[in-house]
Structure 1
């Protein structure tokens, strides 16, 4: 049955899945400023090792996405949320016994698989719980939890680290993630109960066509942020600053403000236009960090980058999901978010190599160039002929199974 036009978006179930995501990603992001130091310090790695160590979790995540999408469409979203959070908690907690780079890589692969499953399940559930004409707004609000975690988690991680107390960071991250898992047991499992022969052909593919174009655009943008998050914790030392926690905290505050105040922009102005603005802001912000090697350059560039990244995700996921029926939304979101993982892996390795050859500022400049190239792809994706697809007139509303 179609939702009423005036039906409330913010329901108890919507609030719960948002809180669950906040807890899980806060636990995960404890490691963001700490992991590069752990690799360079106790494990004795260099810039390339940092880039690979930060980005390798994308390998297991991207390989699992097609499977996660199928499971989410057939068995519900909750199973992905629970299994994903558990894998993330285990992969973080077991870092306490790691004494080799190989061991760290294995655990990062486990965390990557968990993050992939969790995000597909949670983002698709948010889609299920939202009126079709307000899904851009819904994804904006939901993503506030994810990006808020990028401020709270790294700041807490650095406080817990206190020079070299790595085990405290790993244990605390695992515990907070498990708290999210506990809360997630109260979530519903939304599915569209169709037989295989009744599902659209696209939903039976491992890669859903509706998610490809928007996914490639956001992947190019995310590559720039991957370099930023990997090397800012080290770049602040070159600038003589005390730590990267305040930079990530400011980033999260700006994203929080833009996501809340501009939540309806993708629905009102159109996701393609908002996507263009997001790409330009992201590239300009990274370029400014690279061009101005000072506290001022870092903070102003980060602010502009934050505006771009805050608009990019809700705009492009709205563009992707608007083209598909609700019976295949998990598959669309799995394909779309798979580009996050590809960008994390490719961006970590590529920009890690650039950093090793030219320094951290070279990596930021390269990230800006890659992000700006997304404008070319979006111009093609936004053409009228390429916006036609299953569900283009508006997806139907799924039935819920508790």
Structure 2
């Protein structure tokens, strides 16, 4: 065996591919619901804007609250059971949407869907961390995240097509079927949790492990600005005289996909800590360009720089967390860190809107830049002070 082969342990194994396929099937189901749920509430259930917002938001609420408990389940009983239980809850609740005759009933079912999402997602991302060699975790997370992006890119147009051709009941059943396919694939993946080894620093796993706190705050600072950007760039583009923001959103997504695929090894080559700092620096500069340079070139350049930051950030931040977590608490760590995504998706647009109302939309981007800069400061000064626990 060559020295190079010994230095680069294998990442893409049949088990890793099966796990990625399970995640793709799940996120495809999730993506189908993105356009279908609002249309169902507004059309079939004759709900207004508030009803639409409620039906969409309650999914994230239950997912947010239950992610730490999902992580504890994955640590205690295995990643496979978390994925299987989550996928089944997701499938059964979505299949029941067609029986909902009021917004309240649908909202209750959406809460259950969020429960399923919490367990499946945390189980899947923790299983991925088990399968990835430690020195290739950044690459593994980058590749794994492509299943999410592909599912959420392809799922919505499929959902709209199915609704148009066969109605809402069919799209609920198709989405449920995709979730059940994810369950079957998860069963084929099997259990990836390492056997207990009595590792140093062991003991009871906290609901919020210490190793997860700083990474969760870093991810919150990064995704906060991205969420505000996605919510308000369509309006800001009109302010600048553009016909729309479609090309900007496409370009942003394309940058993330290219870096997470062709550049999947970047976080491992640069090192997780350096990649996190670079990511938050790019996010700060990109958002500041959009807010401080009120022009089309400023918006385009800022979008590109922000896209680079987001592409590098999530894999690097999760790698930092996993590098400092005991094997027995990986699920709990991933549960807490992934909570930041749900929090940021709510707080980002809300704070952006408040800042824009008090000043202008430029002020919203500048506020998001300040939050990203706070994350950069934490990444530079705070993380290195943490004591790295010995690994088993």
Q: Which residue of 2 aligns with 1:370?
A: 371
What do the CA deviations read for 1:105-139 (whole angstroms, capped 9, x no partner)?
A: 43332232222211211111111112111111211
Structure 1 gaps of 5+ residues are: 397-402
Matched, 1:272 2:285: no
Q: Which residue of 2 aligns with 1:400?
A: none
Cα offset, 1:184, TM superposition: 1.9
Cα distance in 2 between the residues matched to 1:311 and 1:261:
12
Q: What does residue range 280-319 of structure 1 map to in structure 2 within 5 Å? A: 280-286=281-287, 301-319=302-320
Cα distance in 1 between the residues matched to 2:147 and 2:268:
20
Cα offset, 1:260, TM superposition: 1.9
Structure 2 gaps of 5+ residues are: none
Q: What does residue range 302-381 of structure 1 map to in structure 2 within 5 Å? A: 302-347=303-348, 349-351=350-352, 366-381=367-382
| Higher relative helix content | 2
Cα distance in 1 between the residues matched to 2:362 and 2:344:
19
- C-alpha contact 2:234 2:244 (8 A) present in aligned 1: no
What do the CA deviations read for 1:35-65 (whole angstroms, capped 9, x no partner)?
A: 566667742125xx77665544333223222
Q: Which residue of 2 aligns with 1:59?
A: 61
Do the aligned partners of residues 206 and 366 (structure 1) sit closer, same or farther apart at CA in structure 2, a change above 3 Å counting? same
Matched, 1:142 2:109: no
Cα distance in 2 between the residues matched to 1:37 and 1:295:
33
Cα offset, 1:82, TM superposition: 1.4
Q: What does residue range 2-401 of structure 1 map to in structure 2 within 5 Å? A: 5-32=7-34, 42-45=46-49, 54-98=56-100, 100-157=102-159, 170-194=172-196, 200-201=201-202, 203-230=204-231, 249-286=250-287, 301-347=302-348, 349-351=350-352, 366-383=367-384, 385-386=385-386, 388-391=387-390, 395-396=391-392
Do the aligned partners of residues 236 and 110 (structure 1) sit closer, same or farther apart at CA in structure 2, a change above 3 Å counting? farther
What do the CA deviations read for 1:234-276 (whole angstroms, capped 9, x no partner)?
A: 88899886896x7655443322210122222222212122112
- C-alpha contact 2:214 2:383 (8 A) present in aligned 1: no
User: Which has the greater radius of gyration?
Assistant: 2
Cα root mean square deviation, aligned: 3.9
TM-score, length basis structure 1: 0.79
What do the CA deviations read for 1:184-204 (whole angstroms, capped 9, x no partner)?
A: 221111223339x87845652
Cα offset, 1:382, TM superposition: 3.0
Secondary structure of the residue aligned to 1:204 is coil
Secondary structure of the residue aligned to 1:189 is coil
Secondary structure of the residue aligned to 2:189 is coil
Cα distance in 1 between the residues matched to 2:145 and 2:378:
24
Cα offset, 1:166, TM superposition: 5.9
Cα offset, 1:217, TM superposition: 0.8
Aligned length: 385
Cα offset, 1:373, TM superposition: 2.7
What do the CA deviations read for 1:348-391 (whole angstroms, capped 9, x no partner)?
A: 554566678888776555444433331122223332x31x2223
TM-score, length basis structure 2: 0.81
Cα distance in 2 between the residues matched to 1:297 and 1:101:
42
Cα distance in 2 between the residues matched to 1:333 and 1:263:
20
Cα distance in 1 between the residues matched to 2:242 and 2:160:
16
Cα distance in 1 between the residues matched to 2:360 and 2:109:
28
Cα distance in 1 between the residues matched to 2:170 and 2:250:
20
What do the CA deviations read for 1:141-189 (whole angstroms, capped 9, x no partner)?
A: 11122223232234444555669x7666545433333332232221111
Secondary structure of the residue aligned to 1:370 is helix
Secondary structure of the residue aligned to 1:192 is coil
Secondary structure of the residue aligned to 1:206 is coil
Do the aligned partners of residues 390 and 351 (structure 1) sit closer, same or farther apart at CA in structure 2, a change above 3 Å counting? same
Secondary structure of the residue aligned to 2:16 is helix
Cα distance in 1 between the residues matched to 2:160 and 2:297:
22
